[in-house]
Amino acid sequence: MKKTKKIEDTQFNNWIRMCRKSAWYFAKKYAMEYADVEAQSFLIYVRALEKWDSKKSSFSTHLTVQLRALGDYCKKVKKEYHADPDTLCEDGSSFYFDSIEGSPALPSLVEFLQAASTCVSKDVHSVLEWLLYRQWDFDRYLKPSVNVIVRISKKEWGWTKERAIAAWEELGNCWMNGTLAEFAL
């Protein structure tokens, strides 16, 4: 009895690991929150338990096939996000944040970037613009980081790794010492 219980626990852990591995893959591929995709993978696991027929295949094979639906789920969520009328311009393209009508007391994104360009280097301005226009989101990255900036800046702007890191650090310093905050108010 004890040996059977141990085998069942091991199998269960393997199936959970399969769910998490698939969730991680699709969350990374579609730049989605891991927790959301993981929850969907567990839902697929429960449904797979209900539908499984031991005469047709092993449960691992059945679960593997069922977990492919995570890709469809991620595509659907991304499509709904980008097709949301609140996130599209009149021509159907995705909007940038300066198209949102904000409080008259706050500067628009364009005004903020223009003001910031007077006190930061051109490299920092490029990184700041990339961040604020959420281009990292559309490039399928989970979140902006120095590693993402190094990759993007090398690919799109032809920068060296050192130049990208220096721009990221300068931007961080400007943010931490309040230089950029004065333009936001």
pTM for the whole thing? 0.43
**Cβ atoms < 10 Å from Cβ of 139:** 15
Sign of CA dihedral 87, 91, 96, 102: negative
Residue 160: predicted pLDDT: 92
Range 81-91 average pLDDT: 48
Residue 103: predicted pLDDT: 43
Stretch among 36-50, 72-86, 150-164 having the lowest mean pLDDT: 72-86
Residue 95: predicted pLDDT: 43
Pick the most confident of 137-141, 143-147, 180-184: 143-147
Give the tens place of pLDDT for each residue, 16-38: 899 999 999 988 888 888 888 88
User: For residue 87, is pLDDT > 50?
Assistant: no
pLDDT grade for 136, boundaries at 50, 70 and 90: low
The more confident residue out of 78 and 168 is 168
- Long-range Cβ contacts of 42-51 (<8 Å, 24+ apart): 44/19, 44/69, 44/70, 45/15, 45/16, 45/19
Residue 96: predicted pLDDT: 41
What distance lies between CA 67 and its chain's CA centroid?
20
> Which residues have a Cβ under 8 Å from the Cβ of 22 and sit 6 or more positions away?
41, 67, 70
